[in-house]
């Protein structure tokens, strides 16, 4: 079985500070890993994804994440937070199975950015 | 062009009623999903359909039933609505890479 754990339901940073959102996963086979962002009253949008290849993945809006197999982690970072980054962030793991893929989401982390 | 669309966007109804939410995707994906997002923003997968066959059925009440008339559509029917069903329901679709494309969500409020 696969699962996703996001450490910290709320993270607060100052504008211009480093953003670090933590995600750990468990999967019996190499998974595909994703970060999604949800702005207020909107659906989910893909930030970035890891499938194979380079373990450091760059996404939109200056975000990046590093896949560390030994730590079963896929933490999301951004060097300098912007007010517009305030949103809910979801880590997700997807694994193929007979007939299709199943995507499981973490509980989400709400990012607050202070002026 | 909208990739995944849902209707209605908002749905307010009384307890005990039966309602449906429609979902359509124009991406040609083989797999479609329904997710429930509760008030704490936790996303839980409810159903997954592949090529018109239910392949994953999570432990949701049997009052919820997915209906897929064709590969591009996956509708969600809910019978005998309860207060606890109030949530935002997201439809999604995916292909081989596993990346899910989400609809805008349907906010269901049961009074």
pLDDT in tens, A19-50: 999 999 987 666 789 999 988 777 788 899 88
Name residues whose C-beta falls within 8 Å of residue A63's C-beta, 6 or more positions apart in sequence: A19, A35, A47, A48, A76, A77, A78
A60 and chain B: CB distance < 8 Å anywhere?
Answer: no
Say what the pLDDT of residue B16 is. Answer: 96
A96 and chain B: CB distance < 8 Å anywhere?
Answer: yes
- Rounded Cα distance between A32 and A95, Å, is 6
Q: Which of B98, B102, B103, B105 has the highest number of chain A CBs within 10 A, making it the mutation to test binding with A?
A: B98
What pLDDT tens digit does each residue of chain B (111 aa) get? 679 999 999 999 999 999 999 999 999 988 888 999 988 777 888 888 876 667 666 668 889 998 888 889 999 999 999 999 999 999 998 876 567 889 999 999 999
Interface of B with A in 11-70 (CB under 8 A): 30-31, 33, 35, 40-45, 48, 50-51, 53, 55-56
Say what the pLDDT of residue A91 is. Answer: 92
Token pair for residue A17? Answer: 């500070």
């Amino acid at each position: 079985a696969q699962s996703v754990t996001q450490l910290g339901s709320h993270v607060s940073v100052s504008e211009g500070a480093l953003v670090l959102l933590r995600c750990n996963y468990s999967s019996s086979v190499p998974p595909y890993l994703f970060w999604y962002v949800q702005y207020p009253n909107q659906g989910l949008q893909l930030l970035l994804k890891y499938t194979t290849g380079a373990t450091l993945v760059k996404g939109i809006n200056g975000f990046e994440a590093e896949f560390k197999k030994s730590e079963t982690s896929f933490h999301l970072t951004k060097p300098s937070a912007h007010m517009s980054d305030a949103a809910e962030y979801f880590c997700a793991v997807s694994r193929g199975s007979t007939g299709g893929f199943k995507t499981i989401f973490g509980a989400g982390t709400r990012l607050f950015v202070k002026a | 062009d909208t990739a995944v669309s849902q209707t209605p966007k908002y749905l307010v109804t009384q307890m005990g009623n039966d309602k449906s939410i429609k979902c359509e995707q124009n991406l040609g994906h083989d797999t479609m999903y329904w997710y429930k997002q509760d008030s704490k923003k936790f996303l839980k997968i409810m159903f997954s359909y592949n090529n018109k066959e239910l392949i994953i059925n999570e432990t949701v009440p049997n009052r919820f039933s997915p209906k897929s008339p064709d590969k591009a559509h996956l509708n969600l029917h809910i019978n005998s609505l309860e207060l606890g069903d109030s949530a935002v329901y997201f439809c999604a679709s995916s292909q081989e890479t596993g990346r899910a494309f989400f609809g805008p969500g349907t906010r269901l409020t049961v009074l």
